[in-house]
Amino acid sequence: MISDDRIILGLLALVLAFVFATRDRPGWQRFYVFVPIILICYLVPSLMTTFGLIDVSQSNLWPVAKDYFLPAALFLMTLSIDIKGILGLGNKAIIMFLTATVGIILGGPLALWIVAQFEPSIIGSGDTAAWRGLATLAGSWIGGGANQTAMLEVYGYPLEGFAALLAVDIIVAEIWMVFLLYGAGAHERVDRWLGADSSSIAKLRDTMADYTESIERVAKANDYVLLFGITFAVVGLSHLLGGWLGNFFAELQGEEATLASEFFWVVVISTTVGLAASFTRARELEGIGASKFGVLFIFLLVAVIGTRMDVTKIADAPAFMAIGFIWMLFHVILLLVVAKIIKAPFFFVAVGSKANVGGAASAPVVAGAFHPALAPVGVLLAVLGYALGTYGAILCAEMMRAVSGG
| Spatial separation of the C-alpha atoms in residues 156 and 23, rounded to whole Å | 33
CB 259 within 8 Å of CB 220: no
Q: Which residues pair with 2 in a beta bridge?
A: 54
Question: In this predicted model, what pLDDT tens digit does every residue of 3-26 receive, in sequence order?
Answer: 999 999 999 999 999 999 998 888
Three-class SS state of 34: helix
Question: In this predicted model, what pLDDT tens digit does every residue of 288-322 receive, in sequence order?
Answer: 888 788 888 888 888 888 887 666 655 667 888 89
Average pLDDT score, the chain = 83
Task: Look up the pTM and report it.
Answer: 0.68
Of the candidates 313, 355, 330, 49, the one whose C-alpha atom is nearest the C-alpha of residue 168 is 313
State mean pLDDT over 239-246: 93
CB 146 within 8 Å of CB 73: yes
| Spatial separation of the C-alpha atoms in residues 293 and 233, rounded to whole Å | 16
CB 116 within 8 Å of CB 123: yes
Helix (H) / strand (E) containing 82: none
Of the candidates 132, 159, 133, 45, the one whose C-alpha atom is nearest the C-alpha of residue 321 is 133
CB 230 within 8 Å of CB 236: no
State mean pLDDT over 149-156: 81
258 versus 112: which is more confidently predicted?
Answer: 112
Three-class SS state of 238: helix
Whether 212 has a pLDDT exceeding 60, the answer reads: no
CB 212 within 8 Å of CB 376: yes
Q: Minimum mean pLDDT among 195-204, 279-288, 315-324, 341-350: which range? A: 195-204
Share above pLDDT 90 across residues of the chain, in percent, rounded to a whole number:
24
Task: Compute φ and ψ for 220, nearest 5 degrees.
Answer: -110, 170
Q: How far is CA 321 from CA 49, 62, 68, 242, 311, in A?
A: 25, 27, 32, 35, 15
Per-residue pLDDT at 188: 82
60 versus 124: which is more confidently predicted?
Answer: 60
Q: Which residues contact 182 (CB under 8 A, 6 or more apart)?
A: none
Residue burial 67-97, b: 16+ Cβ < 10 Å; e: rest? bbbbbbbbbbbbbbbbeebbeebbebbbbbb
Per-residue pLDDT at 310: 63
State mean pLDDT over 176-203: 80
Length of the chain: 406
CB 45 within 8 Å of CB 71: no
| Spatial separation of the C-alpha atoms in residues 15 and 168, rounded to whole Å | 23
State mean pLDDT over 360-388: 72
| Spatial separation of the C-alpha atoms in residues 179 and 204, rounded to whole Å | 23
CB 41 within 8 Å of CB 14: no
Whether 70 has a pLDDT exceeding 80, the answer reads: yes
Burial of 369 (0-12, 13-18, 19+ CB in 10 A): buried
Per-residue pLDDT at 83: 64
Per-residue pLDDT at 207: 65
Q: Is the dihedral of CA 362, 367, 369, 374 positive or negative?
A: negative
Which of 187-191, 197-201, 253-257, 372-376 has the highest mean predicted lDDT (pLDDT)?
Answer: 187-191
